[in-house]
Structure formats: C-alpha cells, structure tokens
C-alpha cells in the first residue's frame, strides 16, 4: 500500500491524480455494514471505484446476492447498477490489491482474521470489540480465544483505539484500528475535555445514564429487541456489566468506583443519548466550561457543541456523522450535567470507521461524512 507520505505528495502535486485506495468490507449484511457500504459508495476519495463487498465466513452468498438485495435503500448509489457480495476469500482480496479491510464482523471472527490481514500487508479497521481493550480483565467479557496468544498480544499492543478526537495522530500511521463502541464514543467524547483538564471530582464519582435505539443490539433478532418487547417500553439492561465499560475505564483513565454507566433500550430504531452527571472540584462559570470544550474540540469537525443552556437531542443527530455535546451547570457552579448524542450506526460505528480511513489515507477526516 502507498504510505502516507506518498499519498500526501500525490495529492499535493498539481494536476496529478490522487491515490485511490483499494478497499474491502467484510460483513456487509448487518446494519453497520450497510451504512459502511453507503458511505463508501458515495465517498469522493473513491473516485467511482467501488469497494469489494464480502460476506461473513458463516454466510454462503449465492452468485446473485448484491448489496442492493441486502439493503434495497442503496439501489442507484455508486457507478454500477449493482454491487456483488462475494464469499470471503483471502486470495480474492490479494488479487484485488486490497490495502484497507473493514471488518464488520462478530468479535471472535475479527480476532481471528485481523492477524491474517496484517500478515498480508492489509491495514485493518475493525468495527467489533475484538481489539479495543488493552487490559485482559476488561477484554475478558468478550470471551475471545487466540490460536496464537503471543502474536495476538503483540498485535493488541499495536492496536490503536479509533477515536479520532483523542488519537488522530496514531490513527494516521496505524496498521490496526479498533473502532470504538457506540455507547463508549458518546460518553468518552462528553467527558474527555473535563477529565483531561482535571476539573471533575472523581471522589464523588460520575454517572452516565445512556439510552440507545434498538439497532444498537445488531440485526439478529432477540426476545428483548422484538417489537412486542421494545415498542412502548423503556428498559434497563447490563447493569454493572456492559461490555463498553472497559473502554471508558481505559480511555478516560478511570477506575470502576469512579464511574457508573447504565444502558437503556429506547423504542426507536437508532440514536444514543448519554446524560452524564458529575461534580466539579471547584465552582466554575458556564463560560469557562464552554471554553474548555471549545479548546479541546478545536479542529474536530464531527463534534458539534451546543451553547448552554441548549442541549442535544437524538432527532438532530440521527443519520448524521456528528456527536452533539451540550451541558447544564447548577447554580452552585459545581453540579454539572453533560449530554452527548450520536447516531449509533454512524458516528458510533460506520461513520467513525470511515473517519478513521480518511486519516489513514491522509484526507480530511470529515471527507464524505458531511
């Protein structure tokens, strides 16, 4: 694959065609996979070159299966009438000269396939939880098994947590990018400016009351995502045990007694709202907190800050690639509530994956996402 310097010099050269990376997506049948296909087919950096679309290992795609048959709303997008979904095959990836492989797969499958892709010189953007967590006790919730534990440990140490607002410099040169979880993205982006500035009182602790639409549970139906359960209902789940908790602990440098994250299932298709409760060490003014957020997210085009007292709403971020953040400050200047909203399938999954690809290719990180 052309390295970053080659890509940048090619883009800067007057009249010279920019490098178009050869991209493949494994696991396009799911909700996030479908959104990823839509974004890539419309991406200006692809210049009409469609990605290779591949099914999961357990899927036996027939010769007529297409992106359009899996996701009919994608009909008419791209330069071809239809885009085939091919059975996964490493030789096929090699023959196509694949440079970047998106893995929209179950955690176990991504854990198995990423090492093989890297061995073949293919950079990986993984949308699962397989490579997000550096600490073994946090990663244990996924019950992953490594055929070669030594190699897996080596690659785990190399993996970059794919939150551009925190790690954009590392993402640019990474071989393995672990896309963050949707809940984790909303909470991390809402808290990072405050924790990096050291203004939160961690002895009091932080509470994140987070709510997600049903698509956050994936495409496979379950009893609790069935219409008869989810409609006209609001339910709490995975209390003290949600798998995104480890991401909060590692990325925000917190301990389990410093934050409580409680997820809820909303009776809507998509969207996340995290309402985060914390106390400040010293009284602050709203203008000081606004400045803190503005300085932290200066140069972060996919984070939108709401002027207090206006707070984000799910309906304003659905089908966008933005994370919207706002806050309300108590009269005492110490009680603070932060609200962070995003679309769990876009900024919480496929959109963030494309944002990471943009950085890896030397493009503007918002390319094809606005």
- Is 341 known to be catalytic? no
According to DSSP, the β-strands at 303-305 and 259-265 are unpaired
Question: How would you class 63 by CB atoms within 10 Å of its CB: exposed for 0-12, middle for 13-18, buried for 19 or more?
Answer: exposed
Q: Is the peptide bond before 203 cis (omega within 30 degrees of 0)?
A: no
Among 182, 253, 341, 361, the one annotated catalytic: 182
Residues 6+ apart with CB under 8 A from 51: 23, 24, 25, 37, 40, 41
Residue 244, both tokens: 């995104």
Q: Are strands 259-265 and 206-212 parallel, antiparallel or unpaired?
A: parallel
What are 287's two structure tokens? 């203008």
DSSP letters spanning 58-127? T----TT-BHHHH-GGGTT-SSSS--BEEPP-HHHHHHTT--EEEE-S-HHHHHHHHHHHHHTT-EEEE-
CA–CA gap between residue 201 and residue 118 (Å, rounded): 42
Q: Is residue 275 within 8 Å of 262, Cβ to Cβ?
A: no
User: Closest Cα partner for 34 from 66, 79, 80, 81?
Assistant: 66
Active site members: 182
């Amino acid at each position: 694959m052309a390295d970053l310097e080659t890509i940048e010099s090619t883009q800067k050269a007057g009249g010279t065609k920019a490098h178009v990376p050869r991209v493949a997506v494994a696991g396009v049948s799911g909700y996030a996979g479908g959104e990823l296909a839509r974004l890539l087919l419309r991406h200006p950096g692809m210049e009409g070159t469609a990605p290779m679309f591949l099914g999961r290992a357990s899927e036996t795609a027939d010769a007529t299966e297409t992106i359009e048959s899996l996701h009919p709303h994608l009909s008419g997008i791209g330069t071809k009438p239809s885009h085939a979904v091919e059975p996964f095959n490493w030789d096929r990836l090699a023959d196509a000269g694949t440079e970047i492989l998106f893995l929209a797969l179950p955690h176990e499958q991504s854990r198995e396939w990423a090492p093989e892709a890297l061995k073949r010189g293919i950079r990986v953007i993984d949308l699962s939880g397989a490579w997000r967590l550096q600490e073994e006790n946090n990663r244990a919730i996924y019950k992953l098994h490594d055929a070669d534990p030594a190699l897996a440990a080596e690659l785990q140490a190399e993996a970059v947590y794919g939150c551009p607002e925190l790690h954009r410099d590392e993402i640019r040169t990474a071989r393995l990018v672990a896309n963050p979880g949707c809940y984790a993205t909303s909470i991390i982006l809402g808290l990072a400016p405050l924790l990096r500035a050291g203004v939160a009182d961690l002895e009091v602790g932080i509470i994140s009351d987070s709510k997600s639409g049903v698509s956050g549970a994936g495409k496979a139906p379950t009893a609790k995502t069935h219409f008869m359960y989810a409609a006209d209902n609001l339910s709490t789940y995975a209390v003290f045990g949600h798998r995104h908790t480890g991401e909060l602990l590692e990325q925000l440098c917190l301990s389990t007694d410093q934050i409580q994250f409680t997820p809820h299932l909303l009776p809507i298709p998509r969207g996340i709202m995290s309402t985060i409760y914390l106390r400040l060490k010293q009284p602050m003014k709203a203008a000081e907190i606004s400045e803190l957020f503005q300085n932290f997210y200066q140069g972060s085009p996919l984070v939108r800050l709401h002027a207090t007292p206006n707070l984000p709403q799910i309906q304003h971020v659905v089908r966008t690639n933005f994370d919207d953040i706002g806050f309300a400050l108590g009269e005492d200047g110490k009680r603070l509530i932060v609200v962070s909203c995003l679309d769990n399938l876009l900024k919480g999954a496929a959109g963030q994956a494309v944002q990471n690809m943009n950085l890896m290719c030397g493009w503007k990180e918002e390319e094809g996402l606005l």
